[in-house]
Amino acid sequence: MYCGEFISKKSAFATIFSRIGSLFGRGVALSEATPRDDRRAPIEGQEAVPGVRIWYVEHNPNANSEDAKAILTKADFAEFAAIRHLETRNRSLVVRAALRQALSDSVGGKVSPDEWRFARTENGQPILVNSGNKLKFNCSHTSYMSVIVVSTVGDVGVDIADASFDCAADWLCEVMSKPELKALAKLADEKRSGAVSRLWTLKEAYVKMLGTGIAEIGDVAFDLGDDRLLSGSSHDWFLQPVFRTWIVNNQGRRYSVALASGSPTSMRAPLSRCSSEDSRGYSRDRFPALAG
């Protein structure tokens, strides 16, 4: 009975993920000299860094999401019932369903999607309670697209946001460090909003990986040139985080995505060590981006 149900529900998701996969195409590793907007983004279920996989979920108000919701539990519906905005609530349910499938895919189908159980930390971050601490996940959302990451090797954080951000000085002073503000001030106006978005998603991904909440985001600083972590705290000095940033184009919109992985494999990742004395971690190996 279990196998039949699992295969049936998984086949329902195959159609959805197939459409997402065709949207993004196959990931292609290109040289560092290739312009960011000429690269392709990782497709759903692709390994982002060793032990960490990523899925995209497209939100189309006109799409039928009932198939996606087939594997949801009563607890899922109860958890999101407080969201009054119908479209936002449906989006949350669709992402939860995709997360359940992604988690089961990550363990080779040994756990049925509807068997996963969730709780929330003091900061409101959802966590698994029945994975034996072997799986970590994180999600991020926009109105038209969400992103899911699942890690089998350690804490992980992800963030997605519009590729162009408001550059109002009063807002930036609240969330950016002095080194970041100085670097942003040197950029031409047409490049500044994109740089702000990249920095913001990096900060969000990192504090989500740490589980500390957004209150500490102003204390975290990244090098605008190569996304090196200049300040902030890590769970363990022996587990230096790895960062990835890339651009995704979907439905005529550009998004900045950032990943922070605190996996033990980061010490063995083929990335160059930062030379700056006040930096931590490793410089990023830019991920392919999708040409729109």
- Residue 277 falls inside a structural domain: no
Angstrom distances, CA of residue 158 to CA of 72, 138, 150? 23, 6, 10
User: Cβ(246)–Cβ(227) under 8 Å?
Assistant: no
Same domain membership, residue 207 and residue 125: no
CA dihedral 228, 230, 231, 234 (to 10 degrees): 40
Angstrom distances, CA of residue 282 to CA of 72, 90, 208, 225, 230? 38, 38, 18, 13, 10
- Residue 131 falls inside a structural domain: yes
Per-residue pLDDT at 282: 32
Per-residue pLDDT at 10: 40
Same domain membership, residue 10 and residue 148: yes
Total domains, the chain:
2
Amino acid at 144: Y
- Residue 275 falls inside a structural domain: no
- Residue 285 falls inside a structural domain: no
Same domain membership, residue 132 and residue 236: no
Measure the N-to-C terminal CA separation of the chain; round to a whole number of Å.
44
Same domain membership, residue 6 and residue 119: yes
Last residue of a domain, one of 154, 186, 216: 154
* pTM for the predicted model, two decimal places: 0.75
Same domain membership, residue 125 and residue 24: yes
Per-residue pLDDT at 264: 54
Phi, psi for residue 3 in degrees, rounded to 5: -60, -40
Same domain membership, residue 89 and residue 174: no
Q: What mean pLDDT is predicted for residues 218-231?
A: 86
Which residues have CB under 8 Å from 167's CB, separation 6+? 184, 189, 192, 193, 196
Per-residue pLDDT at 107: 92
Mind listing the pLDDT tens digit for each residue in 230-287? 866 544 444 578 999 999 998 889 999 999 998 654 433 333 222 222 333 333 333 3
Amino acid at 149: V
Give the residue numbers spanning the domain of 43. 2-29+39-154
* Predicted confidence band of residue 15 (pLDDT cuts 50, 70, 90): very low
- Residue 281 falls inside a structural domain: no
Q: What is the CATH number of the domain that holds 181?
A: 3.90.470.20
Mind listing the pLDDT tens digit for each residue in 89-100? 999 999 999 999
Same domain membership, residue 215 and residue 128: no
Last residue of a domain, one of 98, 131, 154: 154
